[in-house]
Amino acid sequence: MLNDARDEAAMMRTERTQLQTGGVAAEPSEAGAIDVFTIEETIEMALGASRGELQMSTLVDLQAQLRGHIALLREPARKAADQMWRGATRWHRHITRLDGIERQAEQELSPLPFGALIEVQLMARDCQWLLDGYKENWR
């Protein structure tokens, strides 16, 4: 059932991308191309993962997807930090949060289902923070 929902979400994402680009799917390798819709869907799935049966394979898959999204969003976040005055409280908060996100993304997933769920949901919240900053051009 979960795979059916993923397949349907992937088809909807492809259709939405084709509508936005005039029928031609955008390549993810294009410079500056960050698929906001895919990231938002992954975040929603991760935050809603506790609504069903906890399967480690699903959590491992979500963690891998979130790691990829964080890797994409990390570069614009670092560039935004480079534009800030390095003595400002805003810069310190930004860089501290970003460093924490990067450290957490490198950690292995807990072998316990509930622990893994918490870690994936925290990673989803970190990814949401990065995405919000990206969409708002880092305020």
Residue 139: predicted pLDDT: 55
pLDDT at 11 over 50: no
Question: For residue 63, which amino acid is it?
Answer: Q
Global pTM reads 0.76
More confident residue, 33 or 85: 85
Q: How far is CA 68 from CA 38, 55, 80, 90, in A?
A: 11, 20, 19, 26
d(CA 14, CA 19): 9
* Cα distance between residue 62 and residue 45, in whole Å: 8
- pLDDT band for position 117 (cuts 50, 70, 90): very high
Query: Residue 134 contacts by C-beta under 8 Å, 6 or more apart in sequence?
Result: 34, 36, 73, 76, 77
d(CA 33, CA 76): 12
pLDDT of residue 13: 46
For residue 59, the one-letter residue type is L
Over its C-alpha atoms, the chain yields an Rg (Å, rounded) of 16
